[in-house]
Amino acid sequence: MEVPCEENASMSRKGFEFKRWMVVLAASIYCLTIGFTHCWGNMTVYVSSYLREVGGEDTRYADAQWLYQVMNTVQGLFTFLGGSLEMACGTATSALIAGWICSLGVVLSFFTCQSFWGLIITYGVVFGMGAGLTYTIPISVSLKWHPEHKGLISGIIFVARGLSVFVITPLQTWYVNPNNKSPTHAPFVDTPQEKYFDDMDVLHRVPSLFLWTGVIFAVVQFGTAIAMPSPTGAESEYMGKMIEERQRLEAQQKAQRVAAETREREGERTASGGATGGVEGQEERPSGEGDSLLRAEGGGETGELEEARARREQAAPASPSPIPKLPTGHMVASHQFWSVWAIMYLNWMSISFFNGFWKVIGTTELHVDDQSLARLGMTWAVLSSCSRVVWGVAADWFGFRGTMVVVGVSFWAFLCTVPLCSQWFPHTLHVFLEDLGWGGDLSEHTLGVWAYFVWVNILKIIDGGAFTILPPIVSEMFGATNFPIVFGLLYSARALSSVLSTLLITRLKAAVGLNTMCEIMALGGLSAGLIAFFAPFHQIKLPQRTVAGGSRKEV
């Protein structure tokens, strides 16, 4: 076979790199449609009002939380099957099938949005099923094309998923409520602040919002799914050679830098020795011993560097052996599994409550207008997505235990103080500013809205770390081989938390009010932080028949 000239080879490599990154771009755009699950908080006010005014349902905001939690539960149950679908049908076909199930659920909601139970079936079950099937496909195919950049690619995909709120939320608000009207209908005497839309100019757009959203999603998913093929055998082989060559060049460059630095240190040491005449009392070494030692430390040729490095690695303590595939029952029976399961359950108890009610709180308790809340949603979507990278770095530096304690306790502290944004905080700040002569033009309501915006953004930044730091610790304790099975089983914590927390909200919210519910649901974050502080997180103990011995690594 004719060897291509250097210019053609360069162009071929550039074209291959372009194809690799186009797959990541397509997967990221595809994830914008999957991230529609995070937009329910913005839709709650519209859908609840439509069910009451048009559907004749006695639906309250707490009841509408069931739609969100059923969708999360079904998504968790079907996440296991996404990988099987991909293996059976191929990446592009499975992405199209799963994505169109998502879009079908949204489109069908156009016909069922007058019925609470109809929405449970179309949005909760059908859309949730598609969301579960699609969960692993974009990141799976992206990692196949970029095996050398696992952390970077995972971060890009999860950031894209979170940024869907930034893209979709303002479009929803602009379409349904272009005139920025506020809900004015207060049907409950005991909770006059709980207001709903009764303006048909707003409500008549709710069904078509589902229709157009589903149609647009289906078109986007078709275009991106066909742009996400798995690499062929030849492409995988070429990619492996390209990565191997790149790693070899990087190793050579590193060796050259080490050699240059060592020669520089040798020159400085020689100059210092000549100036001082040697160190008094220093034992003389035979001629040439210092040179050989310097060469062993990196001052000689590349081959000598490799030899010295090999000797150092051989002398270093052996790292724990990779964890082999373990029986599922053995892993589920471990305290490591249930410690992480409890953390996921309790964190989701607090996070899912705030995800569903952040807009309701802003509308009913602080009387913030609709478009301002949409802009708030855009802001926290960006901050939450970007914070996931920061939380990952924090976990690398400070460990899982310390980072999770900070996440849990800080989420508890800010969620249980959300009511202060409409009560104590704006009044106290207004008095303080007036004493300084600065608060003449700022009303307490304005200060309360600003405080709420700050609180929401901080809570969503913390939210970004609640689950970002879990996959690494699970992989650390159970091994990469067992990670897919274990993490899929741990996802049941979110499913059960969705159901039980919604039951709690439904029973208590009408009796205690939304502000007290913030304090109650915030206890989930505090409890998760306490478990993270006290629970041991080390590698799972292997069955005796699997290994004869081994060490456990404290994380």
Residues 468, 388 contacting (CB under 8 angstroms): yes
Q: How far apart are CA 79 and CA 495, in angstroms?
A: 11
Given phi > 0 = left and psi -120 to 50 = alpha, else beta, which region is 298?
left
Residue 114 has a pLDDT of 92
Distances (CA, A) of 494 to 101, 165, 340, 456, 499: 22, 20, 12, 22, 9
Residues 52, 59 contacting (CB under 8 angstroms): yes
Q: Is 59 helix (H, G, I), strand (E, B) or coil?
A: coil
Residue 507 has a pLDDT of 84
Residues 514, 508 contacting (CB under 8 angstroms): no
282 backbone dihedrals φ, ψ, rounded to 5°? -75, 135
CB within 8 Å of 299: residues ≥ 6 apart: 259, 262, 263, 266, 291
Q: How far apart are CA 431 and CA 443, in angstroms?
A: 10
Residue 161 has a pLDDT of 80
Nearest to 466 by CA among 547, 408, 395: 408
Q: How far apart are CA 70 and CA 76, in angstroms?
A: 10
Nearest to 528 by CA among 397, 351, 376, 283: 351
CB atoms within 10 A of CB 279: 9
Residue 215 has a pLDDT of 96
Which residue stretches of the chain have pLDDT < 70?
Answer: 1-11, 150-152, 272-322, 438-441, 480, 484, 545-555
Q: Which superfamily does 16-231 belong to?
A: MFS general substrate transporter like domains (1.20.1250.20)
Sign of the CA dihedral with 25 first, then 27, 33, and 34 last: negative
Q: In the Cβ-directed half-sphere of 425, how many Cα atoms lie within 13 Å?
A: 19
Residue 276 has a pLDDT of 52
CB within 8 Å of 117: residues ≥ 6 apart: none
Q: How many helices (H) and strands (E) does the chain have?
A: 23, 0
Nearest to 64 by CA among 360, 491, 403, 376: 360
404 backbone dihedrals φ, ψ, rounded to 5°? -70, -35
Residues 539, 320 contacting (CB under 8 angstroms): yes
124 backbone dihedrals φ, ψ, rounded to 5°? -70, -50
Distances (CA, A) of 364 to 77, 196, 320, 433, 446: 34, 9, 55, 26, 15
Residue 408 has a pLDDT of 94
Nearest to 381 by CA among 161, 86, 140: 161
Q: How far apart are CA 270 and CA 232, in angstroms?
A: 56
The CA-CA-CA angle for residues 470, 473, 475, to 5°, reads 105
Taking the model in full, what pTM does it have? 0.68
If DSSP states are collapsed to H, E and C, what string results for 398-445?
A: HHHHHHHHHHHHHHHHHHHCHHHHCCHHHHHHHHHHHHHCCCCCCCHH
Token code pair at residue 247: 């790693």
The CATH class given to the 329-555 domain equals mainly alpha
Q: In the Cβ-directed half-sphere of 432, how many Cα atoms lie within 13 Å?
A: 7
Nearest to 194 by CA among 517, 514, 444: 514
538 backbone dihedrals φ, ψ, rounded to 5°? -130, 170
Nearest to 392 by CA among 467, 458, 310: 467
Q: In the Cβ-directed half-sphere of 121, how many Cα atoms lie within 13 Å?
A: 9
| Amino acid type, 327 | P
Residue 552 has a pLDDT of 45
CB atoms within 10 A of CB 487: 18
| Amino acid type, 355 | N
Residue 101 has a pLDDT of 96
